[in-house]
Amino acid sequence: MLETMKQPWPWYVAGILIGLIVPALLILGNKHFGLSANFRHACAACFPSNINFFKYEWKKEVWNFFFVLGIFGGAILAATLLQNPDPIVVHPDLSKDLAAFGINDRSGILPKELFSFESLFSVRGLIMLIGGGFLVGFGSRYAGGCTSGHAIMGLSNLQWPSLVATITFMVGGFIMANWILPFILAL
């Protein structure tokens, strides 16, 4: 079984498992799936103040902290028990495109030319890691939730704002991957 777990799974298996989380959360406690709200819960728990945004019953959302801990625990288990020693398989056309930008490292999930402390202090690294992190945090707060909250939970509840947010996420991802990222990688 461990060997089966180490192999890539078809997309539809993961899709079904993620999809089953939504009804399970609703049935087990009328809870909503999403991760970006955890930062708000953590701030409300750790830094109580007179800011209206943090004045709410955050203790009702403590289960979310266990959810995040489960993600970290699962990542540690996957990295230690389910690690695949084979190199990451990348489509030859993508490998050629990345090589044109000087990205040749296939030793891990993330190429070291982009995701390392050395690259952090380059213009490309600052834009991608610091700027991108800021935009993801700002965007999820501005949209009232993250991709998991809107695209998984919101769409399953037929919420119009979640449909708009999900379409915006997809369009933004397309623009970033096809037009902006090649410009940043060329720096």
pLDDT tens digits, one per residue of 79-134: 888 877 777 788 899 889 989 988 888 777 788 888 888 888 888 888 988 898 89
The pLDDT assigned to 178 comes to 92
Task: Tell me what the pLDDT averaged over the chain comes to.
Answer: 85
Segment 52-74 mean pLDDT: 85
The pLDDT assigned to 171 comes to 96
Rounded to an integer, what distance in angstroms lies between the CA atom of residue 168 and that of residue 161?
Answer: 10
The pLDDT assigned to 142 comes to 85
Contact criterion met (CB below 8 Å) for 163 and 152: no
Helix (H, G, I), strand (E, B) or coil at 50: coil
Write the DSSP symbol of residue 88. Answer: P
The ranges assigned to domains in the chain are 1-83, 114-187
The pLDDT assigned to 26 comes to 83
Instruction: Tell whether pTM > 0.85.
Output: no
The pLDDT assigned to 1 comes to 73
From the list 13, 10, 12, 21, the residue with the least C-alpha distance to 151 is: 21
Write the DSSP symbol of residue 30. Answer: S
Residue type (1 letter), 28 = L
pLDDT at residue 179 greater than cutoff 90:
yes
The pLDDT assigned to 187 comes to 82
